[in-house]
Amino acid sequence: MNALFEYLLRLGDDSLILGHRLSEWCGHGPILEEDIAMTNLSLDLIGQATSFLKYAGEVEGKSRNEDDLAFLRFEREYKNLLLVERPNQNFGATMMRQFLFDAYRKLFFERLVHSTDSQLSAIAAKSLKETKYHLKHSSEWVIRLGDGTEESHEKMQSALDDLWKYSAELFYQDDVDEDLIENGIIPAVDAIKGEWDVLVRNVLEQATLIIPSNNWEQVGGRKGIHSEHLGYILAELQYMQRAYPGMKW
């Protein structure tokens, strides 16, 4: 197994699947500005996915490009977090999912910029600038809605109750990470976890939301074990390439 290839799939698939989820809001946003904001986020994420998957294809050396990797893999070969495949539900739940992810991604990219791998460092530097805008946007909505009306508060609390168990996977680590960390290619997760806790708890507190006391951690995505939702996402994402193999436009 090529650890760097495997790790690049994890990064690329997180961006790709979350980008796809956000694109589902196109034309359905609660207000025009947010419709546009979510498609902007989606575009940034799909752009990041393109960079990571393109590089993954080069590292693998089997002449697969970013499109082959995005469109022509089977479900078990996707290595994204379970968090990013969770359904959009309502706007508040989408912002909660985004917030938990953005907080991690910002701290992660800040360190990945110092990677000994120059291509990863370049992608990180580019993506970090975008992610800062994303985090600002999602944190503000979590606070505004959490500390908003009774109904918005209730929806945000229920979103947090639902999504919290998937947040542990952000810090999942296995033998894929170990070598890469040792060689300074990717940052160690522990330090990020500490900062993430502080950042997330601070925002949730301002949002008057309570972190669930149930400590159950749901993981699986990093190993390709997904929830039932990924199949539906891929059915839509891959439809054109499955129906008309190799088509271009």
Residues that bind another protein (CB under 8 A): 33-34, 36-37, 40-48, 50-51, 118-119, 121-123, 125-127, 129-130, 132-133, 135-137, 139-140, 143, 203, 206
Instruction: Tell me whether residue 127 or residue 157 sits nearer to another protein (CB atom).
Output: 127
Least Cβ distance, residue 31 to another protein (angstroms): 9
Query: Would you say how long the chain is, in residues?
Result: 249
**How large is the C-alpha radius of gyration of the chain?**
18
Closer CB to another protein, 3 or 16, in the complex: 16
Minimum separation from the CB atom of position 202 to another protein (A) = 9
Query: Which long-range CB contacts under 8 A does 60-67 form with residues at least 24 apart?
Result: 60/2, 60/5, 66/12, 67/241
- Residue closer to another protein by CB (options 23, 158) is 23
To another protein, the closest distance from the beta carbon of 224 in angstroms equals 25
Taking the least distance from each CB to another protein, the nearer of 104 and 172 is: 104
In angstroms, what is the minimal distance from the CB of 248 to another protein?
11
Distance CA 230, CA 209 (A): 28
C-alpha–C-alpha distance, residues 12 and 122, integer Å = 15
What is the rounded distance in angstroms from the CA atom of residue 240 to the CA atom of residue 146?
Answer: 39
